[in-house]
Amino acid sequence: GVAGEKQQSHFLVLTAENFAQLADVVHQDYQHKVQFLRNVKLMAGVSRLGLKMLAMLLQTVTFTPNTMVIAQDQAPSLMYIITKGFVRAVRHISLKAAPLHHQEHGAKIFRSTEKTPPSHEDERTLATLRGKFLETGLLGTTQFFGAVAVLEGGGKNAMDISLIATLKVSAFTLSRLDLGKISLE
């Protein structure tokens, strides 16, 4: 169709000075992201070009305090790299059937294939743990999670822990599609 008389066009006009300021802000943000990635252990073998390409694809997410970032038994669809704050790793204890022994972080979690029957003390420990949460770690700046699920396509790579933001948390994210756009030599 032909444009009607009541249609209007709007244009954003930038002066050369405004454009230069905008370009400078974008460049500083990009350089900050590249420098940040250099400090992430996962990126240790990535070339300079690879880091620059990744920096262009990074998205920023923010979580408010006590927000569930990833729930236990879910496969993350994004890889997260923490830029600010801390994420608590917790495991919900849902003990089914006969308890089995497994050592993890010094606490008895009853999951291995040992055939030794649990002692009376173990039974009391189970009763105390059932339905509760066990904190297994704390992740901070430059640490990452979700990489295996994203790199291998999710599905069978569900997290065996929940990740919960402590205070306000910021993170960079990358999807499988983002990673597929570049070659990480």
Whole-model pTM: value is: 0.66
Percent of the chain whose pLDDT exceeds 70: 70
Q: What is the mean pLDDT of the chain?
A: 76
* 5 has pLDDT over 80: no
Q: Which two tokens stand for residue 45?
A: 């073998």
The CA R_g of the chain, rounded to the nearest whole Å, is: 24
User: What is residue 12's predicted lDDT score, i.e. its pLDDT?
Assistant: 76
Amino acid at 151: L
Q: Tell which wins on pLDDT, 169 or 50.
A: 169
Phi, psi at 153, each rounded to 5°: 90, 20
Q: Tell which wins on pLDDT, 171 or 120.
A: 171
